[in-house]
Amino acid sequence: MNKTLKKRNLILTLILIVITAGYLFVLQRDSVTHSYAITIIERSCIYAVAAVSMNLIIGFTGQFSLGTAGFMCIGAYVTGILTIPVEMRDQIYYLYGMAGWLHDIRVPLGVALLITMIICGVIAYFIGWPVLRLKSDYLAIATLGFSEIIRAIFGWDGLGTITNASYGVSNIPAFANIFECVLICVVCIVVMTLLLRSSYGRAFKGIRDDEIAAEAMGVNLFKTMQLSFVVSSAFAGVAGGLLAVFMRSAVTSTFTVALTYNILLMVVLGGIGSVSGSVIGAFIVTGSQEWLRFLDKEYVFSDIFNNLAGTAFGAAKVPFLRNGFRMVIFSILLMIVVLFWNHGITGSKEITWDRLFAFLKKFKKEPVQEERA
């Protein structure tokens, strides 16, 4: 790439950053009015971190792990316990009482997320020893079982003085503003992207493409897969911690198998083996599930037309509209997308300015040559 194209791409990136920051500033300035938009953006950013972390182990290393929800559960509880105000802990742990050694420990959100990363990484390191020796479906089942075991342990009464058992942790301080959430998520995604561009990332892709060839080139298969699993689990824990801050609570019922499947959907929809695809998939899935929520209501024609013309048109209801119907439409839309983009929206490639301009050039009409007389 020549210097002119690099300079153009840099300028376009800076412009995009400025526009995004300006838009976020407008939302934050009147956060009450734009609370719904802020909610969608924050949730999408958090799921983007989870999706990229899952893509790191599935799409870039080729190991079918489904333990994301379990590590998100660990991260949510660790972050929540370390950040809730000390003066409110006796009210939250009114049934079991909080452990004395933990009662007065409170750290800022950034420190709590770093501790979460370390704890999730250490747990993933020891879990990886037996689990990563399995392949394909067996690995998926093992990690899925681990996720359910984590939920059972955190909901166990025996750990009530730490996790508050099935009651969970509440009154977790929310984000100071939308910039705090977005910035943390961007940093996490950038760090994972830099890792994938390093020699470790090339080793991950080598294992995905051909394990025998990668081993012949000197790649230690088990240690490399374990590194990928540890990094993926650590950032999944961070995503869980951010989700707990977003929801202001951490309960085991949030981190079910359905959450893992939802994040896997984002990865597959965006493109397996693409960081930008995972981010796009997270925003599309999260945004669509929210924007289609109006389909869950049995709208009356008169309610619609009254807003437009101020006239009553009776009380006829729209057929089929009821609670849960939005997921039917959402599934149909997903099927349509998969039919046209069976490798995901971006495939295994990343979205760059050069690819974007090349894509736009396809829509330009070719000049018609005049026939010579």
Report how far residue 240's alpha carbon sits from residue 246's, in angstroms, rounded to the nearest whole number. 10
Kindly indicate the confidence band of residue 347, based on its pLDDT and cuts at 50, 70 and 90: confident
CA dihedral 337, 338, 342, 346 (to 10 degrees): 50
Q: Within its chain, how far is the Cα of 91 from the centroid?
A: 31
Kindly indicate the confidence band of residue 313, based on its pLDDT and cuts at 50, 70 and 90: very low
CA dihedral 235, 237, 238, 241 (to 10 degrees): 170
Tokens describing residue 125: 């390191």
Kindly indicate the confidence band of residue 282, based on its pLDDT and cuts at 50, 70 and 90: very high
Report how far residue 52's alpha carbon sits from residue 236's, in angstroms, rounded to the nearest whole number. 9
Average of per-residue pLDDT across 46-69: 94
Q: Looking at the predicted structure, is the pLDDT value of residue 312 above 80?
A: no
- List, in sequence order, the alpha helices (H) in the chain: 3-29, 35-58, 68-83, 89-92, 100-103, 109-131, 136-154, 160-163, 178-197, 199-209, 211-216, 221-247, 257-270, 275-291, 301-309, 325-340, 353-361
Of the given ranges (158-162, 242-246, 282-286, 340-344), which has the lowest mean pLDDT? 340-344
**pLDDT for position 198:** 92
**pLDDT for position 137:** 83
Using the Cα atoms of residue 99, residue 103, residue 105 and residue 106 in order, give the sign of their dihedral: positive
The pTM for the full model equals 0.88
Percentage of the chain surpassing pLDDT 70? 88
Going by the DSSP 8-state scheme, the letter that residue 317 receives in this structure is B
Kindly indicate the confidence band of residue 302, based on its pLDDT and cuts at 50, 70 and 90: very low
Kindly indicate the confidence band of residue 9, based on its pLDDT and cuts at 50, 70 and 90: confident
Of the given ranges (97-111, 136-150, 325-339), which has the lowest mean pLDDT? 325-339
Task: Report the chain's mean pLDDT, rounded to a whole number.
Answer: 86
**pLDDT for position 3:** 81
Q: Looking at the predicted structure, is the pLDDT value of residue 338 above 90?
A: no
